[in-house]
Amino acid sequence: MSRYQTHITDVLVIGAGLAGERVAIEAATHGLDVTILSLVPPRRSHSTAAQGGMQASLGNCAMGEGDNPDIHFADTVKGSDWGCDQDVARLFVETAPIAVREMAVWGVPWSRVVAGKRTLPDGRVIEEKKEKEGLITARDFGGTAKWRTCYTADGTGHTLQYTMDSIVIKMGITVHDRTEAISLIHDGERCFGTVARCLRTGELRAYIAKSTVICTGGYGRLYSASTNAVINEGSGMFLALDTGVVPLGNMEAVQFHPTGMVPVWILITEGARGDGGYLLDKNLHRFMPDYEPKKKELASRDVVSRRMTEHIRKGYGVESPYGPHLWLDIRHLGAKHINTNLREIANICRNFAGIDPVKDLIPVRPTQHYSMGGVRTNIDGAAYGLKGLFAAGEAACWDLHGFNRLGGNSLAETVTAGRIIGKKVAEYTLGASLTFNPELVEDAVKKQENRIKGLINGWHGKENVYELRNLMQQNLMDYVGIFRNGKDLQKAVSNLQELYHRSHKIGLRSSGVGANPELAQALRLPGMIRLALCISYGALVRTESRGSHFREDYPKRDDVNWLKRTLAYWPEGADLPELKYEPVKITELPPGDRGYGESSAGSEGGKNG
Amino acid sequence: MRLTLRVARYDPGADVDIRMQKYLVEWERQETVLDVLFKAWQQDPTLAFRRSCRSGICGSCAMFIQDGPRLACQTLVGDLAGDGGELTLRPLPGFRPLKDLVVDLDPFFDALKQVIPWVLTVPGHDGRVAPEDSRRIEGPATCILCGICDAGIDSGGNVRPAALVKNVRLAVDPRDALGAQRMKVTGLTEEGLQTFRQLLARICPKGIELPAVALE
For B155-177, how does the pLDDT look when each residue is reduced to its tens digit (9 = 90+)?
Answer: 999 999 999 999 999 999 999 99
How confident is the model at residue B148, as a pLDDT?
Answer: 98
How confident is the model at residue A71, as a pLDDT?
Answer: 98
Label the pairing between strands A564-569 and A578-583. Answer: antiparallel
Which segment of A4-18, A228-242, B5-19 scores lowest on mean pLDDT? Answer: B5-19
A60 within 8 A of A130, measured Cβ to Cβ: no
State the sign of the Cα–Cα–Cα–Cα dihedral A504, A509, A511, A514.
negative
**Domain range summary for chain B, segments of one domain joined by +:** 2-103, 106-203
Chain B contact probe: residue of A43, A129, A227 with most B CBs at under 10 A: A43
The single-letter code of the amino acid at A94 is E
Q: pLDDT band at B42, cuts 50/70/90?
A: confident
Give the whole-number percent of chain A exceeding pLDDT 70. Answer: 98
Residue B113: phi and psi, rounded to 5, are -70, -10
For residue A310, pLDDT over 90 is answered with yes
Choose the closest CB to B138 out of A49, A109, A510.
A109
Report the pLDDT averaged over residues A428-457. Answer: 96
Report the pLDDT averaged over residues B63-70. Answer: 97
Report the pLDDT averaged over residues A486-492. Answer: 98
Residues 6+ apart with CB under 8 A from A53: A138, A139, A141, A149, A150, A151, A152, A156, A271, A408, A411
Q: List, as ranges, residues 5-24 from B with C-beta within 8 Å of A.
A: 13
Report the pLDDT averaged over residues A149-167. Answer: 94
CA nearest to A339, candidates A329, A350, A327, A328: A350
Report the pLDDT averaged over residues A495-500. Answer: 98
Q: pLDDT band at A605, cuts 50/70/90?
A: very low
What gap in Å lies between CA A362 and CA A359, rounded to an integer? 10
Report the pLDDT averaged over residues A276-305. Answer: 95
Provide, as residue numbers in chain B, all residues whose Cβ is less than 8 Å from the Cβ of A230: 51-54
Report the pLDDT averaged over residues A41-48. Answer: 96
A521 within 8 A of B45, measured Cβ to Cβ: no
Q: pLDDT band at A600, cuts 50/70/90?
A: low
- In chain A, whose CA is at the least distance from the CA of B137? A109
Report the pLDDT averaged over residues A591-595. Answer: 94
What gap in Å lies between CA A480 and CA A15, rounded to an integer? 27
Choose the closest CB to B54 out of A114, A169, A230.
A230
Whole-prediction pTM value?
0.95
Choose the closest CB to A44 out of B60, B170, B207.
B60
Label the pairing between strands A362-371 and A149-150. Answer: unpaired
- Verify whether the Cβ–Cβ distance B129 to A134 is below 8 Å: yes
State the sign of the Cα–Cα–Cα–Cα dihedral B39, B45, B51, B53.
positive
Q: List pLDDT tens digits, range A108-157.
A: 999 999 999 999 988 899 999 999 999 999 999 999 999 999 999 888 99
* A551 vs A123: which has the higher pLDDT: A551
What gap in Å lies between CA A605 and CA B12, rounded to an integer? 64
How confident is the model at residue A2, as a pLDDT?
Answer: 65
Distances (CA, A) of A535 to A52, A118, A366: 27, 46, 18
Q: List pLDDT tens digits, range A379-416.
A: 999 999 999 999 999 999 999 999 999 999 999 999 99
Q: pLDDT band at A603, cuts 50/70/90?
A: very low
Residues 6+ apart with CB under 8 A from A54: A96, A100, A149, A150, A151, A156, A160, A408, A409, A411, A412, A415
Q: pLDDT band at A471, cuts 50/70/90?
A: very high
Residue A299 three-state SS: coil
B102 within 8 A of B188, measured Cβ to Cβ: no
What gap in Å lies between CA A359 and CA A477, rounded to an integer? 32
B62 within 8 A of B34, measured Cβ to Cβ: no
For residue A222, pLDDT over 70 is answered with yes
Provide the total of helices (H) and of strands (E) in chain B, helices listed first: 6, 7
- Verify whether the Cβ–Cβ distance A43 to B59 is below 8 Å: yes
Report the pLDDT averaged over residues B138-150. Answer: 95
> Of the segments A490-504, A508-522, B112-126, which one has the largest average pLDDT value?
A490-504
CATH topology of domain B2-103: Ubiquitin-like (UB roll) (3.10.20)
Query: Roughly what angle, to the nearest 10 degrees, separates helices A18-29 and A156-171?
Result: 30
- Domain B106-203: which CATH class? mainly alpha
Provide, as residue numbers in chain B, all residues whose Cβ is less than 8 Å from the Cβ of A158: 57, 142, 144
* B44 vs A8: which has the higher pLDDT: A8
- Verify whether the Cβ–Cβ distance B119 to A163 is below 8 Å: yes
> ipTM > 0.85?
yes
**How many C-beta atoms lie closer than 10 Å to residue A274's C-beta?**
23
Question: Which secondary-structure segment (H or E) carries A188?
Answer: none
Residues 6+ apart with CB under 8 A from A274: A52, A139, A140, A141, A142, A149, A298, A407
How confident is the model at residue A514, as a pLDDT?
Answer: 82
Report the pLDDT averaged over residues A89-113. Answer: 96
Enumerate the β-bridge partners of residue B97: B103
Q: List, as ranges, residues 240-299 from A with C-beta within 8 Å of B.
A: 263-264, 266-267
Query: Roughly what angle, to the nearest 10 degrees, separates helices B161-171 and B190-203?
Result: 110
C-alpha Rg value of chain B to the nearest Å: 20
Q: pLDDT band at A344, cuts 50/70/90?
A: confident
Label the pairing between strands B68-71 and B62-65. Answer: antiparallel
Residue A578 three-state SS: strand
The single-letter code of the amino acid at A506 is I
Q: List pLDDT tens digits, range A360-377.
A: 999 999 999 999 999 999
CA distance B40 to chain A (A): 14
State the sign of the Cα–Cα–Cα–Cα dihedral B117, B119, B122, B124.
negative
Alpha helices in A258-319 (DSSP H): 271-274, 288-291, 301-311
Query: Roughly what angle, to the nearest 10 degrees, separates helices A517-541 and A438-457?
Result: 100
For residue A525, pLDDT over 70 is answered with yes
A35 within 8 A of A174, measured Cβ to Cβ: yes
- In chain A, whose CA is at the least distance from the CA of B116? A170
For residue A324, pLDDT over 70 is answered with yes
